[in-house]
């Protein structure tokens, strides 16, 4: 893909606007996990690098002044769920069962099987959580190499208080929901800019109906960048 020549400060301002409006607006009051956390952290790392590139382009005096007045990005870094000894699979399964609810009593055998399944799901969920916070300097893309299905992307689109994995270009169109056609179009448009292996990755994503978190965040950024007016 051909890289546009940009001013470091303008690139930082664009990246900050991207992060604030497409990520932080949705995740400021929640703790994330899974692919949502991966996409949010990759976006934050993009912002962090852009800020560092801008600061590196300044003179010593300008840098000192900027460090004194500029936003501390740690204040808007996504939060995530970590393993907690006080949260057991049994406790999590109990809370989940109350939230799921039931309209009619279940036979004893069915209730036991359902409870067993909830505990197993809770145990797998807790096991997948990180044991501690991620360091600032970690390679985010190596920690979140997994993929997300098109169904999951569409499910979170336009949903109240849900972090959209891929934002719509026109918020009012289709009630802010991303359609399957619009999702595939976003990928193919992005793929048209690429060559070789990168383009092949897009073609495979469209065929398999799933995409890596890293590639998804790159498409999110380019969609925002193409329409940024700052």
| Nearest alpha-carbon partner for 45 in 222, 217, 225, 229 | 217
Provide CB contacts within 8 A for 147, sequence distance 6+: 35, 210, 211, 212, 213
Q: What is the pLDDT of residue 160?
A: 73
| Nearest alpha-carbon partner for 130 in 38, 42, 47 | 38
Q: What is the pLDDT of residue 71?
A: 83
Q: Whole-angstrom Cα distance, residue 229 to residue 7? A: 14
Per-residue pLDDT of the chain (230 residues; tens, 9 = 90+): 445 567 999 999 999 999 999 999 999 988 887 788 889 989 999 999 999 999 999 999 999 999 888 888 989 998 876 666 666 767 667 766 766 665 555 666 666 677 777 777 777 766 766 666 655 555 555 555 578 899 999 988 877 778 899 988 776 677 778 999 999 999 999 988 887 777 888 999 999 999 988 899 999 999 999 888 76
Q: What is the pLDDT of residue 177?
A: 85
This prediction has a pTM of: 0.75
Q: Whole-angstrom Cα distance, residue 118 to residue 19? A: 35
Q: What is the pLDDT of residue 144?
A: 58
CA neighbours closer than 13 Å in the CB half-sphere of residue 161: 3
């Amino acid at each position: 893909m051909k890289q546009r020549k940009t001013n470091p400060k303008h690139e930082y301002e664009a990246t900050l606007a991207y992060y604030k409006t497409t990520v932080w607006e949705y995740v400021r009051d929640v703790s994330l996990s899974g692919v949502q956390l991966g996409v949010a952290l990759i976006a934050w790392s993009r912002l962090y690098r852009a800020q560092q590139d801008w600061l590196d382009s300044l003179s010593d005096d300008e840098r000192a002044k900027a460090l004194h007045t500029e936003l501390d990005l740690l204040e808007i870094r996504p939060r995530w769920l970590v393993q907690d000894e006080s949260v057991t699979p049994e406790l999590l399964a109990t809370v989940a069962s109350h939230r799921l609810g039931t309209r009619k009593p279940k036979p004893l055998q069915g209730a036991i099987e359902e409870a067993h399944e909830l505990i197993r799901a809770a145990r797998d969920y807790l096991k997948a959580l990180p044991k501690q916070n991620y360091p600032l300097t970690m390679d985010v893309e190596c920690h979140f190499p997994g993929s997300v299905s098109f169904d999951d992307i569409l499910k979170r689109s336009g949903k109240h208080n849900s972090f959209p994995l891929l934002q719509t270009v026109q918020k009012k169109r289709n009630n802010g929901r991303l359609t399957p056609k619009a999702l595939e179009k976003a990928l193919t448009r992005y793929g048209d800019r690429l060559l070789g292996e990168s383009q092949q990755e897009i073609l495979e994503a469209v065929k398999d109906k799933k995409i890596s978190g890293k590639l998804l965040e790159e498409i999110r950024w380019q969609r925002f960048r193409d329409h940024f007016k700052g």
